Amino acid sequence: MYIRKSSLRFSSVFLVIILFLIFFTSKLIWIQFFRSSYLANRAEKQHKHGIKIEPKRGTIYDRKMRPLAVNVSVHSLFANPRHMTDEDKLRAIEKLSALLGLDKEFLKSRLGRKKYFVWLARKLDSQTAEEVRKLEIRGLSFRKESKRHYPNQYLAAHVIGYAGMDNKGLEGLELLYDRYLKGESGWTQILRDAKHRELLIEKEAIPARDGFNIILTIDETIQFIAEQALEKAFIKHNAKSASIIVMDPMTGEILALANRPTYDLTEFADSRAESRPNRAVVYVYEPGSVFKIVAATAALEEEVFMETDEIYCENGEYRIANHILHDSHPHGTLTFREVIEQSSNIGTTKIAQKLGASVFYKYAKRLGFGRKTGIDLIGEVSGLLKPPSQWSKTSIGALPIGQEVTVTPLQLVCAISCIANGGVYMKPYVVKYIVDNTDELIKKFEPEAFGRIISEDTAQRVKEILKGVVENGTGRRARIKGVHVAGKTGTAQKVIGREYSHNRFYASFVGFAPAEDPRVAAVVVFEEPHPSYYGGTVAAPVFREMMVDTLKYLEANDYN
């Protein structure tokens, strides 16, 4: 009986062993033949860690190779929650929230994840990173990255724009030329042990390609001169906004471009929305009397008037259809030259009436109004220039004096440059070269002429009239001792709703110097300056201050 029970017990144990052996053998066969690839790949992933190699974003330089936007090395903090105890996590939450200003709930959420890698704070400076290291909290580490830095903060902010946290261009040239600046990421694989610790052994690597560098037409010194002059007047005249553009009239190169209000590129995330638009390119306004250069140019080119021809200015009141046109100061008889010098609305309207709507419109188009200039900046608008078929009975008295037409400051400086350079419309541009890190040329941008707009003779005659505006007329505050300046003032009522305001104005001045051999053309525009609001009072002095310092700088540096 005892032997029988023992035999039964032995058979049962043996059967169990056989069943387990069959089960594990089957499991091994399943793993070996059907799961081997999956498990091998998983093991490889656990021991190999792919790291993205960030390329260095290209530098933006001014025309003299002075950096305007560069990348600097920074430190980004990450954590390995799987290697942190609850005590480590609590300590990290308390210390990092105080040191980095991070929300405790944010840190708790990040550290509560069952992951080997989570970002806690990106792109910290060296001093802050060192303070975190001194905490000696297990599971925290740093990875080197780069951050966009703007050494001049506000300078040329609306030209340069900015790049975000991941070095992606978001505004200005940073956005427009992002594909050149950003470069291409690389990759490397680092071996890790079973506890996911990096062994600093590279298995494979694809190097990053750094971004290309961009050299601008902007001159840092002229940009500073222009911004300084604009800022002082912006504050003095309590203006809502202001713009200035400085251009080489012979080449179309933009030497400076600034707007107010502006913002600090290093703190762009905290800037106000109204401070970021590039008003000189993306905003339009009715230009007022600066637009009278169109009628003057067309009349001389078409030989409809001579400079000495007399025009009766109706003593300040002139009826056009059902509208009475006024001059700011009543005039009797003026010569053609004096009409422009004294900025007579009535005299200019009579010039346009003799030209005819179609001829006036033709020259307005030739001088670049009603279309984009093609500048390499984001968001340029074309403004409004109605064809004669859309004019009303009073339009012939409105468009020639800068009403019922909208322009950008950029269009105005391009138009005045046509007169300065002898009658050729030059395309404006802000990028001269694109080069790689070995200075090998990738792309070059040359001056581009859109064609001759007026004859050299006409350009010279208009130039002489614009010299008279500064010497004898409304632009006296733009005069520079020892230098002949040519220019035109403008004071325009601002349109509020569908009515012209009687207490809100645009004040403008556009001109160039030296008049005999122009080196610099510029436009200055203020929106709603007060209590002074005339272009000759508000904008012309800014032009003068900028031009005096710019010409001194150009002469001292034997500029080209």
Q: What is the largest CA-CA distance in the chain?
A: 147
Question: Does residue 498 have a pLDDT over 90?
Answer: no
Residue 173 per-residue DSSP state = H
- The CATH number assigned to the domain holding 415 equals 3.40.710.10
Q: What is the pLDDT of residue 202?
A: 47
Query: Strand 241-247 to strand 317-320: parallel, antiparallel, or no bridges (unpaired)?
Result: unpaired
In a domain, 33, yes or no: no
Q: What is the pLDDT of residue 123?
A: 81
The average pLDDT across 472-488 equals 96
Instruction: Clarify whether residues 525 and 541 are in a common domain.
Output: yes
Q: What is the pLDDT of residue 101?
A: 87
Question: Does residue 351 have a pLDDT over 70?
Answer: yes
The average pLDDT across 487-503 equals 91
In a domain, 208, yes or no: yes
Question: Does residue 185 have a pLDDT over 80?
Answer: no
Q: What CA–CA distance (Å, rounded) separates 247 from 254?
A: 4
Instruction: Clarify whether residues 212 and 260 are in a common domain.
Output: no
The average pLDDT across 377-387 equals 96
The average pLDDT across 299-328 equals 94
Q: What is the pLDDT of residue 209?
A: 84
Question: Does residue 8 have a pLDDT over 60?
Answer: yes
Instruction: Clarify whether residues 263 and 324 are in a common domain.
Output: yes
Q: What is the pLDDT of residue 200?
A: 45
In a domain, 21, yes or no: no
Q: What CA–CA distance (Å, rounded) separates 331 from 490?
A: 18
- The CATH number assigned to the domain holding 94 equals 3.90.1310.10
Which of residues 159, 183, 216 is at a domain's end?
Answer: 216
Instruction: Clarify whether residues 419 and 439 are in a common domain.
Output: yes
The structure's pTM equals 0.83
In a domain, 11, yes or no: no
Question: Does residue 144 have a pLDDT over 80?
Answer: no
User: What domain range includes position 348?
Assistant: 220-556
In a domain, 7, yes or no: no
In a domain, 15, yes or no: no
Residue percentage of the chain with pLDDT more than 90:
65
Question: Does residue 190 have a pLDDT over 60?
Answer: no
Instruction: Clarify whether residues 189 and 294 are in a common domain.
Output: no
Instruction: Clarify whether residues 208 and 352 are in a common domain.
Output: no
Q: What CA–CA distance (Å, rounded) separates 367 from 440?
A: 37
In a domain, 482, yes or no: yes
Report how many domains make up the chain.
Answer: 2
Instruction: Clarify whether residues 123 and 173 are in a common domain.
Output: yes
Q: pLDDT of 44-91, one tens digit each?
A: 555 455 566 678 899 999 999 999 999 887 788 888 888 888 888 888
Overall size of the chain counted in residues? 560
Which of residues 157, 185, 216 is at a domain's end?
Answer: 216
Instruction: Clarify whether residues 193 and 269 are in a common domain.
Output: no
Instruction: Clarify whether residues 229 and 149 are in a common domain.
Output: no
199 band by pLDDT with thresholds 50, 70 and 90: very low
If residue 493 lies in a helix (H) or strand (E), which one and from where to where? strand 486-496
537 band by pLDDT with thresholds 50, 70 and 90: very high
In a domain, 13, yes or no: no
Q: What is the pLDDT of residue 127?
A: 87
Cβ distance 84 to 138 under 8 Å? yes
Active-site residue numbers? 289
Arithmetic mean of pLDDT over the chain: 89
Which of residues 196, 216, 236 is at a domain's end?
Answer: 216
Cβ distance 241 to 527 under 8 Å? yes
The average pLDDT across 341-360 equals 96
Peptide bond into 387 cis (omega under 30): no
Given the structure tokens 């169109």, which residue do they identify? 294
Q: What crossing angle do the helices spanning 220-236 and 535-556 adopt, rounded to 10°?
A: 160
Instruction: Clarify whether residues 247 and 211 are in a common domain.
Output: no
Instruction: Clarify whether residues 417 and 315 are in a common domain.
Output: yes
Question: Does residue 32 have a pLDDT over 80?
Answer: no
Instruction: Clarify whether residues 190 and 229 are in a common domain.
Output: no
